[in-house]
Amino acid sequence: MTTRIVELRRGILKKNDELAAGLRLRFNAAGVLVLNLVSSPGTGKTAFLERTLRELLARGFRAAALVGDLETDNDARRLAASGAPVRQINTHGICHLDAEMISKHLAGWDTVTGANGAELAGLDFLFIENVGNLVCPSSYDLGEKIRVALLSVTEGEDKPLKYPTLFNSADAAVITKIDIAEPCDFDRTLALKNINEIRPGIKIFETSAKTGAGMEEWLAWLAAERAAPERLKS
Amino acid sequence: MTTRIVELRRGILKKNDELAAGLRLRFNAAGVLVLNLVSSPGTGKTAFLERTLRELLARGFRAAALVGDLETDNDARRLAASGAPVRQINTHGICHLDAEMISKHLAGWDTVTGANGAELAGLDFLFIENVGNLVCPSSYDLGEKIRVALLSVTEGEDKPLKYPTLFNSADAAVITKIDIAEPCDFDRTLALKNINEIRPGIKIFETSAKTGAGMEEWLAWLAAERAAPERLKS
């Protein structure tokens, strides 16, 4: 039975990769920088993204978000408070986003504009908040240019070692909730060591969406990546 | 493509349910109470289970554990510190445990005894620590009598609403890390309300593996469940 699953999975991933390659071309043509945010449930992706969107908008950037969840539109409502256009993707039991879901939920964004609409070509940034899961999302390319792995100080420093596929495929790592590092007995040195062991030299941000710590560095990096010459992800 | 996946998934789950039913009969015959612990990565399952095993052993119970992880045997080593027999299941990329993995890793436990061995019929409790994931583990019956959903105070009170399948299929809920509830701005009332909305009347434990808070109530409940007349899960 295992062989059959592995083969089917391979077929699904191949199909996904093809769709994602198409999305990537489309994002490049529109000149929008697309980021895929992956973490456990509860890492604080939504709070981090809400603050990111709000601060980008305040700096005159145009940013939008797609947010994946099994059920509920809680996260879309939280993100929309930033003022950015947001769309919820309900996966109804699927534990990750795939390229097809992204493609479907972009429908209309090529043409629609207005107060809460977004034209893909008019965007500087499109953030995709994945379903909270450290495993399956790592296998599904969504056409993003930058994959961000998030890890909170509450989660245990050995997460990168236990979930190597995610950290291995990430272009940046964000440590969240550093405001509560102390009561959580967070071992910063060990966490940085473990991330670097799985993905040597990866850019790491240490942040708190609550206090704003580390956000300046993150926003400056986003702006620089946005300004960088087009580079296709291999 | 979606239809094909759904159908295959149904077939896999049906096969899993059959294997799990067999395991359940075997566990009942051996008189061992089996619990399946499910949560996000980083909820603190391992710390909670390590303390549970240690305290059960100190009270004269015989307890063992199977622990699932994608890679590494970190958790098995941490759990073995309790003195209980522990076996690691490496899923190598699969994001949940299934009945077949459990069956394979029980091999020998029917006969082997000794310092770090365990005879299934000689056990009072067998704990299965699932892979950190709030989605797929809920679909896979492992033959357990009791499914425990764990949620930490760091994760956000809306988890039960966002991952209803897990909380819906759980027999008990454990809130972990209550020692850091305050710096995490944990809204206890809202968390209890949300759990009860998804699974009305479910038994809820509020615990800290660090301070020991709530452990007495949990251990007393375990002992009572162990002593309760056999009841087959429907």
ipTM score of complex: 0.76
Nearest one of B156, B204, B174 to A41, comparing CA atoms:
B156
| CB spacing of A134 vs B133 below 8 angstroms | yes
- CA of B165: which chain A residue's CA is closest? A93
Residues in chain A: 234
pLDDT digits (tens, 9 = 90+) for A146-194: 999 999 999 989 999 999 999 999 999 999 999 999 999 999 999 999 9
**Yes or no, beta carbons of A1 and B15 under 8 Å apart:** yes
Q: Is A15 exposed, middle or buried (0-12, 13-18, 19+ CB in 10 A)?
A: middle
Token readout for A70 is 């099994």
Mean pLDDT of A80-85: 94
* 3-state percent helix, strand, coil for chain A, nearest multiple of 5: 45, 15, 40
Q: Which residue has the higher pLDDT, A17 or A3?
A: A17
Q: Which of A40, A93, A179 has its CB closest to that of B41?
A: A40
What are the domain boundaries of chain A?
2-229
- State pTM to two decimals: 0.85
Top residue of A4, A6, A40 to mutate, by most chain B CBs within 10 Å, is: A40
Interface contact A135-B134, CB threshold 8 A: no
Residues of B with CB under 8 A from a CB of A: 1, 4-5, 8, 12, 15, 40-44, 69-72, 74, 93, 95, 100, 131-136, 152, 154-156, 158-159, 161-165, 177, 179-180, 183-184
pLDDT band for A112, please (50, 70, 90 cuts).
very low
Closest approach of A93 to chain B, Cα-based (Å): 7
Between strands A125-129 and A63-69, the pairing is parallel
Q: Compute the mean pLDDT over every residue in chain B, rounded to the nearest whole number.
A: 90
B180-212 pLDDT per residue, tens: 999 999 999 999 999 999 999 999 999 999 999
Measured between beta carbons, the chain B residues lying within 8 angstroms of A15 are 1
Band of the pLDDT at A87, cuts 50, 70, 90? Answer: very high
Residues comprising chain B, all counted: 234
CATH architecture of B2-229: 3-Layer(aba) Sandwich (3.40)
Q: What was the pLDDT predicted at B121?
A: 82
Q: What order of strands is seen across the sheet that includes strand A63-69?
A: A86-90, A63-69, A125-129, A33-38, A146-152, A172-176, A203-206
Mean pLDDT for the stretch of residues A20-49: 95
**Which pLDDT score is estimated for A108?**
72
Confidence at B3, pLDDT banded by 50, 70, 90:
low
Q: What is the pLDDT of residues B96-114, one digit of tens each?
A: 999 999 999 998 775 444 4
Does the pLDDT at position B2 exceed 60?
A: no
pLDDT band at A109 (very low <50, low <70, confident <90, very high): confident
User: Residue B117 carries which side chain, given as an amino acid letter?
Assistant: G
pLDDT, residue B9, reads 74
Contact call for A161 and B5, based on CB within 8 A:
no
Chain-chain contact of A41 with B12 (C-beta, under 8 angstroms):
no
pLDDT for B55-82, tens place per residue?
999 999 999 999 999 989 999 999 999 9
Least Cα separation, residue A27 to chain B (angstroms): 25
Q: Is the pLDDT of residue B53 over 80?
A: yes
CA-nearest residue to B13 within chain A is A1
* Cα–Cα dist B157/A234, whole Å: 39
